Amino acid sequence: MKISHLALAAALLLPAAAQAAEPTAAEARAFVADAEAQLSAYSDKAQRVAWVNATYITDDTDAMAADAGAEGTLLQVKLAKQAARFNNVTGLDADTSRKLFLLRQAIVLPAPDTPGAAKELAEIATRLQSAYGKGRGTARGKEVVGNDIEALMGTERDPAVLKEMWESWHKVGTPMAADYARLVEIANAGAKELGFADTGAMWRAGYDMPAADFEKLIDRLLAEVQPLYVDLHCYTRAKLNQKYGDAVQARTGPIRADLLGNMWAQDWAGIYDVVAPKGAGDVGYDIGELLVSKGADPLKMVRYGENFYSSLGFAPLPDTFWKRSLFTKPADREVVCHASAWDIDNKDDLRIKMCIKVNSTDFVTIHHELGHNYYQRAYKAQPLLYLNSANDGFHEAIGDWAALNVTPEYLVKVGLLDAAKVPDASRDIGLLLRQAMEKVPGMPWTALVDKWRWGVFAGATRPADYNKAWTDLRLKYQGIIPPGPRPADAFDPGAKFHIPGNTPYARYFLARVLQFQFYEAACRQAGWTGPLHRCSVYGDKQVGAKLNAMLAMGMSKPWPEALKAFTGSDQMSGKAMLAYFAPLQAWLKQQNKGQKCGW
């Protein structure tokens, strides 16, 4: 997790005489410098409050987080409005102009100047996140916490129990609906005071292009990769039909959401055993089993992740990382188990927060979260307003890029897999299918989450239709449906952390695309000539140096410049993902002959 520095801004009040006069370029530079100094002081305090609240949920820490959030939101909005005073100043240098734009735009939930609005908004945001953190579902009638029920979705095969878990967990969202509608109302009022049509439009403006062009970019990239998803959906549906029969999963149409091994059907790796092709489907190893056989505990799993980055030439994580991070769920208190990476002081106080389980999923997640930490440290020398990734998709993509390097050859190099057990080329379809089950379903999912919110913020989706719009989008883009009729008061979006947590989601969509672009570029730099999906740049310090050069840019340049610095292209494209999965897609088309694909 990285709380936006801009969302923690402190206001700088200009003298009345200065406010009345036409501002100058010199005043703009002075304003930005003072703003960054104030931001730094406030950020340190607010990050620590947020950490305590996320790792020790009580009524008191909720109140502390709400107070800090209210203070930061109110001050940031004032600062954004003051930055807008310099909109028409001539003679601004590029650096000052960029920083003023960031001050005006980069806020997740703006509050209006109305007395009490900032406090109410912060209280609602804290209440929503805490409600999620305290959420419970059931499995066979037994209460299960969110982190555990997520894991069970990937191993349970009884459709009745899967339905119970899915429906019971989604009840966590029901009490959130009214709060969420009020949050939208307040945030929209704040966005309009900043000159945006609504909060969603404000989010979309933060990508070095007009908001409308960003929507077009999302649609273009999704259209590029959606055929691969449709092929995978068709194949998976047939396998589920074979396992469960027509009464549970029909041969045509959408797939039942709870059968896909993940609470939100965003990652289908949990049911690889159901869809694996005979013979070639057995890739010869399971990372979770390899970890258990080596006696790995959560701490050792994090050490494996650190070792990957060290092999590329990155310095080891600081001692404080190991002392201050949260690696396992405490038995004595409530915490937000959702994995996140933190940079408390914008320097070296790096941490991760996870409730790690010894399995393949968390092994990959650790590589992902550490990617955030190494990115944070790479750009720490930048001015405060540039202490972020080129765009938020870059931050997510770096960790995902690292996880793509977790190939059989990599596992051999780190001592987890015996060299004699590396699967040969005959297992490539199995390797690719298993990877596709994790990566490909996330494309439509990561697109629709913010598409839903954009509609909500724009007023096109009214509170009474929140759940229907959510279910309709999931059908349209994912081709899935709930396991049964939804109650009239259902608020299924609330069952996904990023909705009550108010984390914009387009970053994850961009990351799905960017990780493959980064991966293809790194493999090319390393001189890899084999099948793309077998490449691992583990140990290549030249690749690490070039990667670090891009990371160190932070947000100081428009993202196309950062992308070009590492990949050689300034355009996002789904072609690298399609190239990675090309052998699998050809195979899927053969398997799907005679099937009525789509929904």
Catalytic residues: 338-339, 368-369, 372, 396, 498, 508
Return d(Cα 553, Cα 571) in angstroms, integer. Answer: 18
According to DSSP, the residues that pair with 143 across neighbouring strands are 138
Q: Are 356 and 369 in contact (CB under 8 A)?
A: no
Residue 572's nearest CA partner among 564, 583, 582 is: 564
* Pairing mode of beta strands 255-256, 480-481: parallel
Q: Are 122 and 66 in contact (CB under 8 A)?
A: yes
DSSP 156-194: ---HHHHHHHHHHHHGGGGGGHHHHHHHHHHHHHHHHHT
Residue 151's nearest CA partner among 24, 297, 270, 316 is: 270
Cα dihedral 65, 66, 69, 74, rounded to 10, equals -160
| Residues listed for the chain | 599
Return d(Cα 223, Cα 212) in angstroms, integer. Answer: 17
Q: Are 107 and 77 in contact (CB under 8 A)?
A: yes
DSSP 286-323: -HHHHHHHTT--HHHHHHHHHHHHHHTTPPPPPHHHHH
Q: Are 459 and 198 in contact (CB under 8 A)?
A: yes
Helix (H) or strand (E) holding 438: helix 428-439
* Pairing mode of beta strands 340-343, 350-353: antiparallel
- Residue ranges of E strands in 413-545: 480-481
Return d(Cα 492, Cα 577) in angstroms, integer. Answer: 30
According to DSSP, the residues that pair with 340 across neighbouring strands are 353
